[in-house]
Structure 1
Amino acid sequence: MDPSALIPEAIGISVPPVWPVVLSIITLSVHLLLMNAVFGGTVIVFVHSLSGGSAVSRSMSRRLPTLLALAINAGVPPLLFLQAVYGQFSYVSSILMAVFWLAVIAALMIGYYGLYYHNFRYERLGVSGRRLVMTVVLCLIVYTGFMFSNKMTLMLRPEVWSGYFSDPDGYLLNLHDPVLIPRFMHFAVSALAVGGLTVAFFGRRKGDNDSVDTGMKWFRRSTLANVLMGVWFLMSLPKDVMLIFMGRNMAATVLFCAGLVLLLAMLHAAFTRNVTFAAVATVLIVPVMATMRHLVRQKYLSPYFSLDTAPVSGQWQPFLLFVISLAVGSLCVAYMLRLMSRAERS
């Protein structure tokens, strides 16, 4: 079957694609930083809970519910932009794996409650209770991340969508894609690095050297491990996609080189225990990686769709309303976080 016959008609975009794409990269970068902090922070708290817990894990557990709430909300804009630009691919992948995709909502809600429960019942839970709660929460977060990887890779492969005709009940996953596991592992290990950096960052603010030492140790080891994960991910890509980073596409090649420079900066900061430099390098590398991700998506879908030919209606009002709402909402969130920070210090 011709895969293009399975792709719905392109959804019109209200403004030129460059605008939603740029905003998608910016908002996705914010979401990734927050979500990685949650994922990595949860792993660190879980590992510490295996030995009974520590002051480091106790401090981090207080911040995880807030970080997860921010990550979930920050994840809405990039998902909406994805639907707006690549809706004919994104909606289909959601339908093909509908059961697993809808279960993500329940997983996040239960995981969110579990983080609150772990924080407020920390002493009463005891060692075994904390282990159990964090095991459940970590499994739910891993499930969520793995399902997102499934969805984002499944939408790039219309050639496997015909599996719907033998499995029309919403249980189709992208498990046979050689890119799926290395892609997920690359993001998961990077989350450990960001989680460690988050622990170190908050520890530095409080003058807690134990948190700084623990966090930078996680950051250093995870960043080193992620070099291997990144190579695995790159080599698993189809050859024509991989080669865009090897000179076939100038923008992709420049971004790849910029990513390597920032990676070296992260490693330097990790070994010198420079939390500020590590945070700056990490914040800079995330949008670079998000842009590379966008170029990979474009290359995958190039046989079926191009942004240059996407229908544009020229209706700017909804876009401007979103931008204004995003700016006002961001200011409100920043103000609330400032109030919360003041309350913690008092």
Structure 2
Amino acid sequence: MIEVSGLMKSYGGRRVLDGLSFTAAPGRVTAFLGPNGAGKSTTLRMVLGLGTPDAGHALVGGVRYAELRDPLRTVGALLDASACHPARSPRAHLSWLARTHRIPRARVEEVLDLVGLGPAARRPVRGFSLGMRQRLGIAVALLGDPGTLILDEPMNGLDPEGIQWLRGLLRALADDGRTVLVSSHLMREMAATADHVLVIGRGRVLADGSLASLLETDLPPVRLVSPRLDELAGALREAGAEVTYDAPSTGRATVTGLAGARIGDIAARNAWSVHELTPLRPSLEETYMRLTAEAVEYRSTPPTVPTPRKAAAAHA
């Protein structure tokens, strides 16, 4: 288990972590989310002993990272995919790391094949794409067969096959009882992979719970499709619902204020056919945007596209 308790950290008078506390438990993939500047990278560095907090502590398996006897066998981490000498090959880089922890050479070949770098094992890293560097970083994290994985933006640069492979790998590691903490800005991938979601902003926890509970709402809007929509809409409004047509004459509408089961009961009581009745629960991205709306530190402005007349005048 990763345990973070009361972490405080300031740089140049700016507070980056403000009493941050959370746990990442074995057997699940924990998504570590937050806007740029939220303190995610600082937190991961504190967990891995690469920084000293002003207050609080970060533990892995109940001890500080610096106290681990065989850290590579306990915690596998990917913070920077470029953290390898460009003249080295993946095999040489992994072999050097393996020797520091008495890890057999067979394990080096195993992780090279696992991440798909077997054919490129002897090539200098300087010629690698970002995706290949990411695969090497993941191989480093897996080298000691650790019980805890900490991965910062591991999907950056991966192609669709690589993302799908990594999604399955993270799921398999968690199902094997390992602790998997993943920081990422790819909300769709986190929604497809994570069991637990931790959202921070300005160094504080904004949300901490299961993915299902985070996306759960008491009474979500319902998408309704019916050939008898006009009659059904009238009955639903009488029951206190708000019905918004998606487009005229389509038989599609969005209903708010009534549960799907109640809508179905009203339709059945009147023998009105219903072709679709779907609760519209928010996506992880929508929930994340709502949670972090007041915690975004680096906010961009909407781009402006010049009209043809303005563009022509600019080139005149």
TM-score between both structures, scaled by the size of structure 2:
0.25
TM-score between both structures, scaled by the size of structure 1:
0.23
Indicate the structure with greater helix content: 1
Indicate the structure with greater strand content: 2
**Greater Rg by CA:** 2
